[in-house]
Structure 1
Amino acid sequence: MSSGSQNIDSQRSRTVAAIAMGNFIEWFEFGLYGYFAVSISTTFFPDKSAGTALISTFMLFGIAFVSRPIGAILFGRYGDRVGRRGALSISIVGMSIATFLIGVIPGNHAIGLLAPALLLLMRLAQGFFAGAEMGGAVTALAEYAPPGQRGRYSGWNGFTQLLAQICAALIGTTLSALLTPESLNSWGWRIPFLIALPLGLVGLYMRTKLAESPEFTHAAHTDATTKSPLRDLLRLHWRPLLKVCGLTVGLTTTTYMLVGFFPSYLVKTVGLTSQQMFTAMLIGLSIAAVFVPIWARLSDTYGRKPFLVGGALSVTLLTFPVFLLASSGGYGPALAACVIAALLLSPLLAVQGVTSAELFPTAVRYTGVSMGISVIISLMGGSTPLILQALVQTTGNTVIPAAYITTAAAISLVAALTLKNNPSTAPIRARSESTSPVSTS
């Protein structure tokens, strides 16, 4: 292997590591909020009943998603006009600071209503920067990958999502084993939130050392960028935007069901201890993480469509059995339910990101991916734990959340069936731009 090839491979490895760090931080934070929802509810809503406090906590979880499309629009414009590296560097700093500050906000007993107000403000900040991070990470991973390996490279996006949840569950398992429930609820839950700041600083350092995306550099040098990415996206590329939205519906609801709702469901509804819940989630997510890189690599050979169709169909058919299994009682069935749910999610996590990136030309890719993902996450991601908890509480039916997830997965199944199944063999710009005009006005 020549020194030039070694340098390129080294640069690509550093790129994957830098982008994966930011993606890890984003999902680590969301995992923390879901895993520690019970502790957060007692800190910020101590005067309410357990069920009402939990719903209030999930409301703050959902409200924060309102700011995601705003971040997607602003950072998408920056990323498509100025470059991917700068946008990703800003997003990782903002996300890390907001997550850290959640860990230091005093509770309701100390500052009253100001406590949940500050929590809401930090959640809005997290949503704003997450709107920039998700689309940017997906775009950059696809653009840095060599032809024929975009699935393999982009699969790191889904893998780090699961890795972040695994780390959050591992920390939760450790804290719940070392601390009493009272200590965990009063101060122990804050520890993992504080970790986000040093992680973010490391990620920022790594990202500032990156070269600009080869695809963006090529577009800039050939005058193939646009002054108005959002306008061109909505005018020229609304069909692929709708496809990304459709694909994201099932992935989003299933993800936030698993990491945002299931932890508290297993504790409050099924009756597991916190330590049992953390252990079950840890095992399930770890098994799924093994399969994400496998599906991603196979998609380079067999195309994305089989994995998107198969994943959405599996979620549609098997979510009801998962909830029946979990609600049957006992640790064993709950563990099996966690493993199955995580496995159902794995093919969607593996290929949805690269599929979204391949649907847009370089000039509007950051904006298109960010908008398609962020709009759906804003509408359905943050609200999913709240809706599922409300369904259980109002109906008394512990299996009813499956109806919501199944409906969402069916929408993604329809979207996946409209895709062409092209293996990852040509440069990404050749596949997307050959059939997609770009305005440079």
Structure 2
Amino acid sequence: MKTPLRKLFFRGAGLVSGNQLRLLQSGVEFFPALIAAIDVAHSEIHLETYIFNVDPSTEAVRDALTRAALRGVRVRLLIDGVGSRELPAAWLDALRTAGVSVLRYRPLAGRGWRSNPKSLRRLHRKLAVIDARIALVGGMNLIDDFEPAHFDVPRLDFSVEVQGPLLAGIHQSARHLWRLVALTQLRAGESRPPLIQPSWPTDGHVRAAFVVRDNFAHRRDIERAYLAALALAHDEIILANAYFLPGYRFRRLLKNAAARGVRVHLLVQGHTDHPFFLAAARALYHDLLAAGVSIHEYQASELHAKVAVVDSHWATVGSSNIDPFSLLLAREANIVVDDAAFAHDLRQRLHHAISQSVPLDAAGWQRRAWPHRMLSWLAYGGVRLMVGLAGVGRWV
């Protein structure tokens, strides 16, 4: 690909050269990497998550954080007020007693939080930064692969272990968000930990960008990164997303890509713990299938991934779903990668997952019983209503 066109793929992404990246799949790879990094920390740990569950895998993370704090490491744990609302107070008390600083992002206020549109603005980022030397960024919550235990195969999800100059931006983002939450909760004493300088190996070669979504200066950055890649794709698009409910522009680019001969594969949930949102997503399938987009419903286990590969060199791994809640409301963080080897690795894993999926076809999908189609459109309308009530503007 010519350099000018390649640059357009990453327009606005802020690529940084010289990084080492390692793709991690499911908790079987993620938790050992996270705990190993925590266990060698000597200065500072920032850990952000939407869900912090109570199970054997997360007990190991809790114990690692405790060990780090007891040996004098500054440990900052930021959890979401909705996603981690069931985390026992005894757990948090034990962490604080050990010296871990814990903050809740937008903690719940009263019993009416479910009906409050502002409660949709969540911390959905999943990242860890250890000593400003290594980071893990992706879609994996702190929850065991088999919780709840419905499948024999681990939950399909991904994270990226990052070392290199990209750490500067990731570390700054984690510190800034911690300081912001601490100040809004009148925790000034927590707001300005001593600054440590990022460090990294010098032999990395991967170009990558850290792309966030917030409700201030970066409202559309993750969405724009996707749209730029989809608009220029000429060979193949593979998109795996747990909650796939894109707006009109995103759908149009997928259909346009299929029309110009691009192989477009969507890997979506076949099983879900949120049937309302799956029903809403299915309202969009026929239009995409009729345009030549291939849709595969994953069957082997729960799909929680938020990843994509375009033309064997552009890839992204992160926390952002392709739905209005991630793209318009939540705080999210993705890594966007310009590297053929990384993209090939992710592509191979996704094609394996596709082989464990059920392909949908336009004719069969249109023949679904009318109650199922009606349910999908009612759910889709319900999602649009929720987005409208949240007051975030047009979902396009």
Q: Hey, which of these two has a bigger chunk of strand by percent?
A: 2
TM range (shorter): under 0.3
Q: Which has the higher contact order (CA 8 A, sep 6+)?
A: 1
Could you tell me the TM-score, scaled by structure 1's length? Answer: 0.25
